Chain A
């Protein structure tokens, strides 16, 4: 069999809770209420709003224009009338403008039909046009970081992409949107990889999939064999945070990315399964990025499910479609439980980066009483970046921000391993987020 790789001894093994929803096929959801489309659904500068109240917008019409290099266009998920432009606070705490659209009757009547696959001539399309299209469609990294994909795919001068890694790790517990995509859209994803391959021209393409998705590994291996794609499937040990670029590159290529560099500096580009699928949909179905797969799960959800929804649909609708809550909810989380954001308001809309909506009960949240640091070293043992979290936290606690920055605070990516493992219940990640802001001030 294929060798099962991983990124080293560090990291944590969580209970995956994947079985809650990973057997449930992706369902397409039709929402007939008002859509709320935020202008900041990506990393970087928020898009500039192009519409005004009273305007009529078409489906896939660009309503937000990218501002600057690291930014992304925003498109209307529906055809209808703009009724309001208001300021909202997203789950990750970003304040931005959002366009509220009432879908028209005609549009809703045809919503259930999916667009048919059109012919697309990949051979005779130039790389520049492909990149331009990806940029126009506002495609961003669908794994959660929402980094604009066209920026990632434009290789800077003097750099070469030797290795393209497709990230099908999905290491966050509960989430299985990528898993379902890999199972249900295998051939489409392989077509998407062809497009990216044409842009980057890498020597090698690898799909990294964690071993808890054996069916996906088998399906990909089979399809690749049947169609003679030159793609390797790399099974990975189940370990958090393997879905992070740095850990994934270490696991698959055995290379440690030097601190403060990007994957392209080691000749690699990492793209998420969801991103690849979005690229496929763009070229073969002419769809800009206005929908995504969202896992609605958690032990407090009646029927955990995977939904294909359009951007702008409120969380409450998804939770309702998943059967609502089955027990008292302690936390509602946008994203995964390790790096996602707790939300207090379920009227927030689905954005390009929402991979999951989780409702967790007290049993899983397991709030620990905070005690003094025991010096047990659990945080050091799990930190995938090899930092000294308890020491960093003490430095931040004593307002020694420059010292903390020197000790490697900026290498922390807030994966949450330390705070997960800490027996003393110390809010380490909270401290690091604070420390980074305070340290950057000086």
Chain B
């Protein structure tokens, strides 16, 4: 009986392989889809806020990325389209587009990202800069008018605004008009006719009553996602939720988001007031954090596995440098945004980070001759 059992299921050709004979569940494909999944709530919120056209922008971005990858696959005779990375790149490009963008722009960005930035360097894993961000920056400089100040539409839940500032984001307004205003950015915006939802008003009043403070209206709208901006970047709340999901799934580590956001806020708080003439320690760090794309950048762009450092120490320094550069470009540069340029700039230094911040191997004394 036992013998029969053995013979009936006799192994014909057991696989011979080098150890280990077990593998973890995480694969390249599962990581890419998990990141895409974590971006889903923010994408939905963008579509709700900006209407059907923004959904169209997202779909066109994704399809053109996947198409670009398919063409590369066809010419390379190597199938990588199933790993989900092209989908993710397309989604991130869509996230970084203004809601009223003409459709040819995300298509150009996608093809640039997949062909020039990724495939030309050897495909996923070999690219030295973040494809989605490179695509965005490429079209940002090529089509500055469409990507710039005129393309922003008002999200659904914000009341009508004054004509002078409609079609702009809070950051562009502050950048262009608030240069010598010593006031709080949100108060200044309110004077110009920038509106907030009734929910935000009630919540701000409640908090002010509770803690005897005088927070201006608008922070909660910015946190929840009722502000003009790119399709995917507006809701800090949903992006943080997605980021926490990635942290929970151990796809990203805490180092970059924490060090990036912390260093950006500290630098903005200390030096951000200089630009408006209110001196040191007067920058509105929370306003700058919530109104731009920093949350999206800190959780999803800077943590891109391929183009970020490997060692924990390197990750923290990288995050601090990103925070500083973003602050520098945003407060003192000509652009209202700074995150994408800062990340692309720091991408260049990743190999140096990897070399310089390697931990001491087990059983080595630091600075030992011949050791590392």
Contacts and interface: CB of A to CB of B under 8 A. Distances in A.
Interface of A: 12, 14, 173, 246, 250, 256-261, 302, 316, 319-321, 323-333, 337-344, 346, 358-360, 364-369, 371-378, 380, 384-388, 390-391, 407-408, 411, 414, 416, 419-425, 427, 429-430, 433
B21 interface: yes
A385 B361 contact: yes
Contacts of B19: 337-342, 414, 416, 419, 429
B209 interface: no
A372 B2 contact: no
Contacts of B371: 259
Given A344-B14, A377-B310, A325 B23 contact: no
B103 interface: no
Interface string B352-363: 001000111111
Interface in B16-40: 16-31
B354 to A, nearest CB: 7
Contact of B25 (A12, A333, A366, A427): A366
Contacts of A328: 9, 11
B122 interface: yes
A388 B360 CA distance: 10
A411 B362 contact: yes
A342 B311 contact: no
Contacts of B354: 388, 391
B210 interface: no
B241 to A, nearest CB: 22
A425 B26 CA distance: 9
B306 interface: yes
30 contacts: A12-B24, A14-B22, A259-B364, A259-B371, A320-B6, A324-B8, A325-B5, A325-B10, A325-B11, A327-B9, A328-B9, A331-B14, A339-B20, A342-B15, A342-B18, A344-B16, A360-B21, A366-B25, A368-B27, A371-B28, A372-B123, A372-B125, A377-B305, A380-B359, A411-B362, A411-B363, A416-B19, A423-B31, A429-B18, A429-B20
- For the side of the interface on B, what is the size category? 35 or more
A329 B9 contact: yes
A376 B358 CA distance: 14
A425 B125 contact: no
Contacts of B311: 377, 380
Nearest to A372: B125
B9 A325 contact: yes
Given A324-B2, A331-B17, 4 more contacts: A325-B6, A377-B309, A386-B361, A423-B31
B202 interface: no
Interface string B294-337: 00000000000111111100000000000000000000000000
Contact of B122 (A173, A372, A384, A421): A372
B24 A421 contact: yes
B344 to A, nearest CB: 16
A334 to B, nearest CB: 10
B312 to A, nearest CB: 8
A420 B23 CA distance: 4
B320 to A, nearest CB: 18
B178 to A, nearest CB: 40
